[in-house]
Amino acid sequence: MWFEITAALLLQLLVLLYVYLTYRYRYWLRHGVVYVKPSLLLGNLGSLLRMQCTSAHMIQAIYNYPEAEDQPFVGIYLFHRPALLLRDPELIKRVLTKDFPKFSNRFSNSDYFGDPLTSRNLFFLKNPYWKEIRFKLTPFFTSGKLKQMCSLIEEVGLNLNEYLLKMPLNSDNSFQLELKELCSLYTTDVIANVAFGIQANSFKYPNGEFRHNGREIFRFSTSRALNLGVVFFLPYLVPYLRPKVIPTKQTEFLRSTMNRILKEREKSGIKRHDLIDILIEFKNQTKNQPRQDDLKFEGDLLVAQAAIFFLAGFESTSTTMSFALYELAKHPEMQERLRKEICDTLNESRGEISQQIIESLEYMQMIIDETLRLYPPLPFLDRECSLPKGQSYSLEPFHSFSIPAGMPVYTPVYALHMDPKYFPQPHEFQPERFSLERKKLITPYTYMPFGLGPHACIGERFAMLQTKIGLLNFLRNHRVAMGEKSVKSIKLDPKALILQSQGGIHLSIIRDPLKY
């Protein structure tokens, strides 16, 4: 009896769920929008959640949906929730820049109480807090600050060069290394030194606290992949599933370390013109100001800004450097041209390194730009319609549909970079795309490795400076070649939300000093 009643109730619930989902999955049909057919329950996220492909390739497949070829956008479903994937550069420009106030927040979200250093940092904060903190942190990246940073970065670059020179050589004057980890040692030391005034000494202590904890945060397991999938695609489930971008142990490390540095710097009164100085000034300027909100510029809010600069600063740059070296190993003629440019520049400057000298390396800039086209650190940008509830954003003249408040909107960065309409032969590594003459011909809003508009990466110029100094010091005494463990083509890790090479990047490094 009870079994029959329970079975009948379950059947009714399943029928109701099916009817509900069927209705929800006709949302785009009702609004006359071309959409990618969803699967039951998972919508269009099935391949990502099953880790059959990366987020970059999932979104690229949606972008290339045959029926949407001539459409400015395509409808998708995040489980049962409708969302938009933008395809037209002019529409992308409207969302990211022209009408930014109406799309000022990211759709992604994190657990405010369980993941405080993620939810309070500049990447995840919502307006108006985001705008206020971004304004306060911008002075860290002025031209004057970057000029001061250059010598500090070069100190670490010389450590990278010295580390390589100490490596034992095989009979052919070479040695083998995994490049992603090597580049992470360099970028970890740069961020620790430039932003926090700490000597992490990662080359000497590759398992030191900074490098160990940074490595753990970007170690992508199945559970971590699912957590990040919730944060970026299903944030309304965050209060229930409590995913963490920064794990508990790493949160405690960053909190204790940053609080100690802040306390010591306040007590000593020493000025290094770094991020810590700006955070202390930030705190002092606002501690006596009455506020009508609950955002206090102290504690985890300050630590969160330091944490995001540490994490974003070392990971994205080390990834870009290692991908660039991989492509140079595959294209020795490009590598020789770049090394000649470095040699000529060092000859002219008599070995001196300055911001002006670094910025004069035109071919290196082209190499990095093309690397970022093939391997953008974050393969998509997420926004939500930030209008008040009940209002909507008209997509005229592109379409009669209006985006309702709260709807997620995605810009497919990787897919745009790989679209042959904008970048012919997109799978080929062609730095000449970014020569001074041809760069002007690139369709606006089709190339955005650091994002575009007011929400673009605040540290773009710093990342470029750090990457160039790292590559210069790597190539001044060494060149790279394909080795025994090198793969013919990069396979991206499906567990990693950001672009990472599965299994690392293994290359042969050959001792070959430039003569200058």
Based on the number of CB atoms within 10 Å of its own CB, is 477 exposed (0-12), middle (13-18) or buried (19 or more)? middle
In a domain, 75, yes or no: no
The β-bridge relationship of strands 402-404 and 392-394 is: antiparallel
Among 314, 214, 218, 194, smallest CA distance to 254 is for 214
In a domain, 7, yes or no: no
Flag whether 457 is marked binding.
yes
Tokens representing residue 29 in the block: 């049909």
Find how far residue 85's CA is from the centre of its chain: 19
DSSP 221-236: -HHHHHHHHHHHH-GG
Cα 265 from Cα 375, distance rounded (Å): 38
Cα 72 from Cα 84, distance rounded (Å): 10
Segments forming the whole domain that contains residue 498: 88-511
Cα 221 from Cα 202, distance rounded (Å): 24
Among 437, 383, 454, 455, smallest CA distance to 412 is for 383
Tokens representing residue 301 in the block: 């809010």
Each residue's pLDDT tens digit, 84-130: 999 999 999 999 999 999 999 999 999 988 999 999 999 999 998 99
Residues in contact with 461: Cβ distance below 8 Å, sequence separation at least 6, in sequence order: 141, 146
CB 137 within 8 A of CB 285: no
Dihedral pair phi/psi, residue 292, rounded to 5°: -95, -5
Peptide bond before 494: cis, by omega within 30 degrees of 0?
Answer: no
- Please tell me the pTM assigned to this model: 0.94
Where do the DSSP E strands lie in 33-114?
A: 73-78, 81-86
Dihedral pair phi/psi, residue 458, rounded to 5°: -70, -25
Count of domains in the chain?
Answer: 1
How many residues does this entry show for the chain?
A: 516
The β-bridge relationship of strands 478-481 and 506-511 is: antiparallel
Residue 197 Rama label (left phi>0; alpha psi -120 to 50; beta): left
Find how far residue 183's CA is from the centre of its chain: 16
Tokens representing residue 316 in the block: 């994205």
CB 352 within 8 A of CB 331: no
Cα 132 from Cα 153, distance rounded (Å): 28
Distances (CA, A) of 422 to 259, 418, 426, 438: 47, 8, 9, 12
pLDDT for res 294: 59
Tokens representing residue 151 in the block: 């010598």
Tokens representing residue 227 in the block: 């957590």
In a domain, 331, yes or no: yes
Tokens representing residue 22 in the block: 């069927």
DSSP 130-165: HHHHHHHHGGGGSHHHHHHHHHHHHHHHHHHHHHHH
The distance in angstroms from the start CA to the end CA of the chain is 91
Each residue's pLDDT tens digit, 262-298: 899 988 988 887 888 888 888 887 776 665 565 677 7
In a domain, 373, yes or no: yes
Cα 490 from Cα 501, distance rounded (Å): 6
pLDDT for res 277: 85
Residue 166 Rama label (left phi>0; alpha psi -120 to 50; beta): alpha
Which residue positions in the chain have pLDDT lower than 50?
none
Dihedral pair phi/psi, residue 82, rounded to 5°: -70, 145
CATH number at residue 400: 1.10.630.10
In a domain, 218, yes or no: yes
Where do the DSSP E strands lie in 26-155?
A: 73-78, 81-86
Each residue's pLDDT tens digit, 377-393: 999 999 999 999 999 99
In a domain, 48, yes or no: no
In a domain, 330, yes or no: yes
The β-bridge relationship of strands 174-178 and 506-511 is: antiparallel
pLDDT for res 466: 96
Give the SS3 label for residue 288.
coil
In a domain, 42, yes or no: no
